[in-house]
Amino acid sequence: MSVSVTFLGGLGEIGRNCAAIEIEGKIAVIDVGLMFPEEEMFGVDLVFPDWSWLAKRKGDVELVILTHGHEDHMGALGYFLRDIDVPVYGTQLSVDLAAARIEELGVDAQLHPVPFKTWKKHGPFRFSLIPVSHSVPQAAAVAFDTPEGIVVHSGDFKLDPTPIDSNPTDLTAFASLASQGVRLLLSDSTNAENPGFEPSESSVGGPIADVVRQAPGRVIAACFSSHIHRIQQIADAGVKAGRKIAFFGRSMHRNTTVATDAGVLDVPAKSVVDIKELSNFPEDRQLMITTGSQGEPFAALSLMSQGRHKFVELHQGDTVLISAKPIPGNETAVSKVISNLIRRGATVVHGRNAHVHVSGHARREELATFLNVVRPQAMVPVHGEYRHLHAHGELARLMGVKEVEVLEDGDRIILDGKKTIVERGAVPAGYVYLDGSAFGDVQAGVLRDRSHLADEGVVVVTVGIDHNNGAIVYGPDLDSHGVMDDPSAVLEKAAEAVRSAIEEHDSGRADLNELQKTVRHAAGQIIRAETARRPVVLPVVIEL
């Protein structure tokens, strides 16, 4: 009886992590994550996996399993559950973080916390969550006991010897699975190109404490709101330095509340104040922990860098601590925010000028150790850009893994007895865009149009014609945006060309569509000839 895994996201990009394992015609989904938009995705807020294949087989989808509570693994879950309402399993914190996110969409979810290292049965699926060390507490790998043998999804992990919560990756549990025989391993590849071992999360605690202690005035610290371990270390530094702490930013409030209630974030209540009250204390006793480490345009840190934040106006003596690494695609936005913060007089400490950030993902030697422990028969690298997947695949081959398949979104791997079969492009797995409240309505063609508008600008041509004889009674009036600084001379020539074209338009004067084409062609021809640019020409022809 064959078992298959189909990949809907996370293979070829950082984010959108989503895979589906199928047994006996039933499907379990592993993670439903989101991705931040890339620079050319004009107007797009978030990017989701394409689960249209699953929606067509809605009756076969049994459950969702979350590996951990990061947005790139569960950020799209609420939208998924609106289409496919199934139970969701994960560790207590993972489902709590998911619940807070899902409630914002008004979705009723069936959320079920599962303890570590207990086998859970749901339909034809028997699975167990195994503790792994990552940058959020209660991160897990998932092991499936299938008719074709054990299938392991590593989730995001590193081999941190001194994790903040004292819960390292449970190599003993993985060794136990190896003794039973792991048929297929799906393993985190983010840092597969980087040699050595990733430093421990606890290693940034001292440098962060130094920054907070030595800062002459206010400290504004930014990190991922789901990076609970980092938030804990920043808060500990603030408490030790005698500072009052204010959490702000919607996701920061939400996640710190959830983590505190779950007992995985411990900040003395007497040290925490509302952002509105923080200014009552001396500046050298203020610590703000906020969002915006990725240069998001409407996040608190970006607004501060532009002087537009409601409560915080930066000035000389402020210290900004950015304890995060830019996600690929966000580098430019983060760089601009840092530059603007410095312009406003702040001292900016970040991962490239101080040891205030470490990754939550295993490097090459850790991945080699993990492969040695799990000893899979077959392996598919997951979670990473293609170069990361390729590097991890090469490492697995060096480690003696018999079957290594470097796959991409939309591909499927099938386990059938001793055969391991790959289907390339088995399902659609393109990007699905969230643009404002529009989910899935923005297609690639729309983004191409937006890119064209951004690159070349737009010219609007308005002309009124007499309904009876087609004579021009208004205009042509041309208005340009984003074409050139002083377009008046060019637009005058284009207006004359449009006037002449309409006067020569003998046939079909009553056909507005034909007349619009004539106007567009005439204006576009002159503008291209005069400027060597191809702006979007929008003809507005009105019958009067």
Q: Return the H-helix or E-strand segment holding 184.
A: strand 182-188
C-alpha span between 390 and 514 (Å, rounded) = 53
Give the C-alpha distances (Å, rounded to integers) separating 357 from 157, 161, 227, 257, 293: 16, 17, 11, 23, 12
Among the options 153, 361, 383, 392, which is catalytic?
361
Nearest Cα residue to 265 out of 254, 276, 278: 254
Residue labelled with tokens 């989808």: 61
Torsion from C-alpha of 428, 434, 435, 437, nearest 10 degrees? 130
Query: Two tokens at 156?
Result: 């995001």
Q: What are 372's strand-pairing partners?
A: none
* Total Cβ atoms within 10 A of residue 492: 12
**H or E element: which one contains 179?**
helix 171-180
What is the rounded CA–CA span in Å between residue 396 and residue 392?
6
| Per annotation, catalytic residue among 72, 96, 188, 409 | 188
What are the start-end ranges of the E strands in 353-411? 378-382, 403-404
What gap in Å lies between CA 131 and CA 206, rounded to an integer? 26
The C-alpha atoms of residue 525 and residue 12 are separated, in whole angstroms, by: 41
CB 114 within 8 A of CB 91: yes
The pair of structure tokens assigned to 174 is 């993985």
What's the number of CA atoms in the CB half-sphere (13 Å) around residue 43? 17
Is 281 exposed, middle or buried (CB count within 10 Å of its CB: 0-12, 13-18, 19+)?
Answer: middle
Q: How far apart are CA 188 and CA 154, in angstroms?
A: 6
The beta strands (E) that lie in 242-346 are given as 244-247, 286-290, 319-322
Interior angle at CA 443, CA 437 and CA 449, nearest 5: 105
Tell me the C-alpha to C-alpha distance, in Å, between residue 177 and each of 109, 130, 152, 511: 32, 10, 9, 73
How many CB atoms are closer than 10 A to CB 146?
Answer: 22
361 annotated active-site: yes
Torsion of Cα atoms, 349 then 350 then 352 then 358, to 10°:
130
Whether 357 is a known active-site residue: answer no
Surface-to-core class of residue 277, CB atoms within 10 Å of its CB (0-12 exposed, 13-18 middle, 19+ buried): exposed
Per the CB < 8 A criterion, the answer to whether 476 and 463 are in contact is yes
Burial of residue 61 (CB within 10 Å: 0-12, 13-18, 19+) is: buried
CB count, 10 Å around CB of 253?
16
Q: Hey, which residues are catalytic here?
A: 188, 361
